[in-house]
């Protein structure tokens, strides 16, 4: 397997190592907020978060649906703190309406992944499911190992080289 094929395989599996994703949102007043949320992901790389309507990040999503997400290697597992493996996506958030077929399907995925707590959350009317649809991203595996992910094909990595900065 080539180096790119190895990194491609790592990229495909990388989010599976996480139960939550770091999310960055912006308020209507342009104030940034960073938080996290447990998630499930589908085969198209859409990320689903199940969050309280009372939280800052949910209020921000209603005001501005542009969300950045980050999966980042645990500091304790990193060989070099300056080059932690990480995957980020720029996304657009869409509310999944409660009690629709899609909402029920996503809740079932959350229940399968996170267990009984989802039964409690399901009964709380302020909890919302948002679909975060990536438009582009970046996967970094170390120094000199940055790869662009295009919205045209979220399954294909393109290495970022210094040549791109010279254009």
pLDDT in tens, 60-80: 999 999 999 999 999 999 989
Average of per-residue pLDDT across 152-156: 88
**DSSP β-bridge partners for residue 63:** none
* Cβ count within 10 A of residue 137: 22
pLDDT of residue 45: 95
pLDDT of residue 1: 75
Q: Which two tokens stand for residue 27?
A: 């308020």
| Residues 148-156, mean pLDDT to the nearest whole number | 89
**How far from 147 is each of 8, 31, 111, 142, 156, CA to CA, in Å?**
10, 29, 33, 10, 9
Between 84 and 161, where is the model more confident? 84
Calpha distance 119→117 (Å, rounded): 5
- Residue 163 pLDDT grade (very low, low, confident, very high; cuts 50, 70, 90): low
**Chain mean pLDDT for the chain:** 93
The mean pLDDT value for 101-113 works out to: 97
The residue-averaged pLDDT of 25-35 equals 97
Number of other CB atoms surrounding residue 18 within 10 Å? 18
Residue 139 sits at φ, ψ, to 5 deg, of: -120, 120
Domains and CATH numbers, the chain: 3-159 (2.30.110.10)
Residue 14, C-beta contacts closer than 8 angstroms, at least 6 positions apart? 71, 85, 87, 139
- Mean per-residue pLDDT, 137-165: 86
CA distances from 161 to 5, 23, 108, 139, 158 (A): 17, 27, 42, 13, 9
> Considering the entire predicted model, what is its pTM?
0.92
């Amino acid at each position: 397997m080539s180096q790119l094929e190895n990194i491609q395989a790592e990229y495909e599996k990388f989010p599976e190592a996480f139960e939550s994703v770091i999310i960055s949102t912006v308020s209507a007043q342009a104030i940034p907020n960073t938080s996290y949320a447990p998630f499930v992901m589908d085969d198209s790389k859409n990320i689903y978060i199940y969050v309280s309507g009372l939280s800052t990040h949910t209020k921000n999503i209603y005001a501005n649906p542009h969300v950045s997400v980050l999966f980042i290697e645990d500091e304790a597992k990193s060989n070099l703190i300056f080059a932690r493996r990480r995957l980020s996506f720029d996304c657009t958030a869409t509310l999944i309406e409660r009690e629709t077929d899609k909402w029920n399907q996503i809740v079932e995925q959350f229940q399968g992944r996170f267990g009984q707590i989802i039964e409690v959350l399901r009964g709380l009317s302020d909890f919302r499911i948002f679909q975060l649809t990536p438009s582009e991203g970046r996967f970094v595996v170390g120094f000199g190992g940055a790869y662009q992910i295009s919205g045209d094909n979220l399954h294909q990595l393109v290495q970022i080289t210094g040549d791109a900065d010279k254009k």
